[in-house]
Amino acid sequence: MVAGKFKLQIRMNRVEGKTAIITGGGSGIGGASSELLAAEGANVVVTDIRGEAAQKTCDTIQQRGGSAISMQQDVTNQDRWGEVVSETLSAFGALDVLVNNAGISGASSVPLEETELDAWQGVMSINLDSVFLGCREAIKAMKGSGGSIINVSSVMGMVGGAPAAYNASKGGVRLLTKSIAVYCGTYGYDIRCNSVHPGYIWTPLVRNAIEFVDEIETEDDLMQMLVEKHPIGRLGTPDDIAKGVLFLASDDSAFMTGSELVIDGGYTAI
Ligand SMILES: NC(=O)c1ccc[n+]([C@@H]2O[C@H](COP(=O)([O-])OP(=O)(O)OC[C@H]3O[C@@H](n4cnc5c(N)ncnc54)[C@H](O)[C@@H]3O)[C@@H](O)[C@H]2O)c1
């Protein structure tokens, strides 16, 4: 290499040979993360409560020559977690990366004062309990060999402004992540655990919230309202977040654990 000049390297192998489980991989951020990790050499296990959606992502990866299998999984079911990890170990021999991505918005037209406990607990179960279950199962599988756990939180895990249960669940994911990072370090497990905090990404989770936003009638109006909250002047794409997931999954982030990777177009800078 000539001194003072960088050699341009096209890298397509940042997670070569690693095996990754991605929950909620049938859509949006989970779908893009599954595709990018596979393109960078990982064996990908795509799971989703909608088994056919997970299979569709898997088909896309395989058509591009990548390595993937799909599994139907409701992330709130603890027995299913055991099966998903054990089937992953049978298929690929190891688990190196877990992306706890599945989630719901909890958007509702019911005001906070009238929200039923069941509705609150439903959001907590999918957005937070599931992350505990996934981390618990992944630690069992990774503690001898090491690994990287990536928990998809949100800017709404850092600031208020969403339905209360969503805010609380994503704040919980943020600190659960740090707790797990410290726990694994304390016990000498070579397992890193980091959270990702996306700004608004134009996925079904956001688009479907339109019916609950007063004074917004069209998707264009909703998008415009949200764009104005992002100094960068646009919403994020699933690929914007997938690139952060790839970084945390790869050894490029080897010195990161218990960290918050904020990918938000400046949302939290205001
Ligand atoms: N879209 C955004 O603006 C945004 C911003 C910040 C954080 N996030 C977070 O990113 C993650 C992915 O969101 P997205 O925007 O890609 O949404 P999405 O709706 O496009 O995808 C979510 C996927 O999760 C699956 N899912 C839902 N409940 C499940 C369950 N119980 N078990 C298994 N799978 C289940 C759905 O079937 C769907 O395929 C979520 O955790 C979300 O909170 C999204």
What is the pLDDT, as a whole number, of residue 1? Answer: 41
> For atom 40 of ligand 1, which residue has the closest CA?
103
Q: Which residue from 22, 50, 98, 104 has its CB within 8 A of the most atoms of ligand 1, so it is best to mutate?
A: 104
CA of 191 to the centre of ligand 1 (A): 24
pTM recorded for the entire structure: 0.96
Pocket test residue of 200, 203, 213, 261 for ligand 1, highest count of atoms within 8 A of CB: 203
Which ranges constitute the DSSP H helices of the chain?
28-39, 51-63, 78-92, 117-124, 130-142, 164-186, 204-207, 219-227, 238-249
**Domains in the chain: boundaries:** 19-201+237-262
Measured in angstroms, how far is the CA atom of residue 158 from the centroid of ligand 1?
A: 18
b/e code 144-174 from CB counts within 10 Å (16+ = b):
eeebbbbbbbbbbbbeeebbebbbbbbbbbb
In the chain, % of residues over pLDDT 70: 96
| pLDDT value, residue 228 | 97
Right CATH number for 19-201+237-262 from 3.40.50.300, 3.40.720.10, 1.20.1250.20, 3.40.50.720?
A: 3.40.50.720
pLDDT of residue 44: 98
Taking the centre of ligand 1 as the mean of its atom positions, its distance from the CA of residue 200, in whole angstroms, is: 12
- Is residue 67 within 8 A of residue 15, CB to CB? The reply is no
Share of the chain above pLDDT 90, in %: 92
In the predicted model, what is the mean pLDDT of residues 222-241? 97
Would you state the pLDDT for residue 2?
44
Q: Which residues are catalytic?
A: 166
- Strand-by-strand arrangement of the 19-22 sheet: 67-72, 43-48, 19-22, 97-100, 147-152, 191-198, 260-263
The band of 249, judged by pLDDT with boundaries at 50, 70 and 90, is very high
- Of all atoms in ligand 1, which is nearest to the CA of residue 170? 43
